[in-house]
Amino acid sequence: MPNGAQALMKTLVDAGIDVCFTNPGTSEMHFVAALDSEPKMRAVLALFEGVATGAADGYARMADKPAATLLHLGCGLGNGLANLHNARKGKVPVVNIVGDHATYHTRFDAQLQSDIETVARNVSPGFVRTSQSTAALSRDAADAIVAARGLPGQVATLILPADVSWGEGGVPAVVPPMPQPPVADDAAVQAVAQAVRSGGKVALLLGGRALREPSLLAAAQIAAHSGVKLLAETFPTRLERGAGLPVVERIAYLAELAGVQLKDVDHLVLVDAKAPVSFFAYPDKKSYLVPDRCTVHALSSPEQDAAGSLQKLARALGADAAVPALAPASRPGRPRGRKLTSEKACKAIGHLLPANAIVVDEAITSGLMLSKFTAGAPRHDLITLTGGAIGQGLPSAVGAAIACPDRPVLALAGDGSSMYTVQALWTMAREKLNVTTVIFNNAAYAVLNIELERVGAEESAVGAKARSQLDLAGPVIHFADLGRSMGVPSVRAHTTEEFVQALEHALTTPGPHLIEAMVPPSLSGLKLKMLPKILGSLDGLPQPVARFLKRKIAP
């Protein structure tokens, strides 16, 4: 008869969970041993728990099903919390398995003993359970799977005591199929249809699964028929975009610019999204970004079928036969000039991006031009930093590449964020993943230089000690050396031509590659005349913000 770990393994794979991202310790050794009893389970080792959790996040976003993690006790869970936070904010399904001491050992308060359930509730508010017996383990796992993969997706944490894992008499459990989610009810559809017909300016704010092709096409039909504006969350979990798909304008990260985007909207319709708020509080600025006179409507919640709800709305409006506006196929030209900037790197990406690519964007300020230059590129998926906890980009690329081995993955990251989970490069090499990683090395936490002034710190009052906390120039990290040391072919590009050649080679050569792009801080290199195309008009912005942007972005 199988032990608990073996029965757990069988329960997972029978439910379709056949990838586990691991960083195990002593308490998890019976789970590790059980891997050999189940050939359908792929185990992927990460050198840091934050890589394992971020990879599980990226995998689920592309596979549309959960992966499992295997973490070592509360400390291992703590190391993985940031990327579990990102998964929670993105409504991403993850079956998060955390080992624990044997049930009879906990009373001794050994060195690694901790309150795992309390820690886990921060990222798994909907499901945390410590399995109390081998007989109950597989049923507990089945409940975790059901919780994780239901709508909205969530992180479900199952805590696995060592003796529950090694105990004999485990029996695999059957996980029931997922029910079909409901569409928006008639009252919600009619309320939104009435708002659309009211004559006011209407915007659909799309999030979650509403940013996939079926939902986008239905939303674009409504836009073509009724003149509504299409908006997307600032940081989508997964956005399908490119030539042949509708264009959706993302809400700007800067709250002041988001206010400009929303200022004329009379009715804001939420589709698998929440009303926009600023990422942080700022002195004398609003946190809730919806204009006071704007009415907010909810067409469908994250628990409902976004595509079906939009199609129902289109029928109610008579828009289901409308021809949606689609992005035309277009690419920027090959960037020229010797000096490499983040703008030119983004232009090169738009010039070379292969069809059906997966782009994982954690480039922060260096990726400001990415959306513009890739709008007409061959269709691709975009994964973004949903929870704001940096260190997501490289691990998510690992998971996306394992979920979609036939698709090229391009990971874009800043130098500061890369150092949080740089160990992901080792996993890329070990698994021979088709990931091209671009690290923008501007030797700064560039976005924080912006935030320093946005929170009201006077430039005259900011001295060398404060500035040094945002400066990575001493010493400048050599990412190409780090990449090679972990088995990834890596180059450091100082010029535009070096970058373009390296990117062209990486995107046409299987296996992992790293390109370190030596660029100046991006905001100092952008032209003011380009700003409306990137972030929206400066018109209507508060004068301090407008002056700040002109000072930082103008030549």
Query: Domain boundary residue among 101, 131, 166?
Result: 166
238 contacts: CB under 8 Å, gap ≥ 6: 61, 62, 211, 212, 381, 382, 383
Same domain, 372 and 249: no
Q: Which domain holds residue 433?
A: 342-524
Please give the Cα distance from 278 to 297 (Å, whole number): 19
Pair type for strands 490-493 and 513-518: parallel
Return the pLDDT at 365. Answer: 84
Co-location of 511 and 448 in the same domain = yes
Q: Are residues 254 and 400 in the same domain?
A: no
- 121 lies in the same domain as 207: no
**The two three-digit tokens of residue 469, written as one number:** 């906390």
Same-domain check for residues 275 and 385: no
Residue 551 lies in a domain: no
Please name which of 324, 321, 314 lies closest in space to residue 184, comparing C-alpha atoms: 314
Based on the fold, state whether residues 250 and 117 are members of the same structural domain. Answer: no
Residue with tokens 């990415």: 370
Asked if the structure places residue 430 within a domain, the reply is yes
What pLDDT, on a 0 to 100 scale, did the predictor assign at position 443? 79
Instruction: Give the per-residue pLDDT at 500.
Output: 98
Domain tally, the chain = 3
Asked if 136 and 191 sit in the same domain, the reply is: no
129 and 198 part of one domain:
no
Q: Which residue has the tokens 């509708």?
A: 246
| E strand residue ranges, 262-418 | 267-271, 295-300, 358-362, 380-384, 409-414
Quick one: how far is CA 31 from the chain centroid?
Answer: 29
pTM of the model: 0.92
Identify whether residues 457 and 378 lie together within a single domain: yes
Same domain, 304 and 365: no
Question: Looking at the structure, do residues 290 and 378 belong to the same domain, yes or no?
Answer: no
Q: Kindly report the CATH number assigned to the domain that includes residue 483.
A: 3.40.50.970
Beta-bridge mates of residue 298? 270
Asked whether residue 326 is assigned to any structural domain, the reply reads: no
The reported pLDDT for the residue numbered 249 is 95
Are residue 304 and residue 398 in the same domain, yes or no? Answer: no
> Is residue 542 one of the residues assigned to a domain?
no
List the one residue out of 151, 145, 161 whose CA is nearest residue 94: 145
Q: Token pair of 551, please?
A: 């000072």
Local confidence pLDDT in tens for the 555 residues of the chain? 799 999 999 999 999 999 999 999 999 999 999 999 999 999 999 999 999 999 999 999 999 999 999 999 999 999 999 999 999 999 999 999 999 999 999 999 999 999 999 999 999 999 999 999 999 999 999 999 999 999 999 999 999 999 999 999 999 999 999 999 999 999 999 999 999 999 999 999 999 999 999 999 999 999 999 999 999 999 999 999 999 999 999 999 888 888 889 999 999 999 999 999 998 888 888 899 999 999 999 999 999 999 999 999 999 999 999 999 999 999 999 999 999 999 999 999 999 999 999 999 999 888 989 999 999 999 999 999 999 999 999 999 999 999 999 999 999 999 999 999 999 999 999 999 999 999 999 877 767 766 666 666 655 567 777 777 777 777 889 999 999 999 999 999 999 999 999 999 999 999 999 999 999 876 543 443 444 444 443 443 444 445 545 554 443
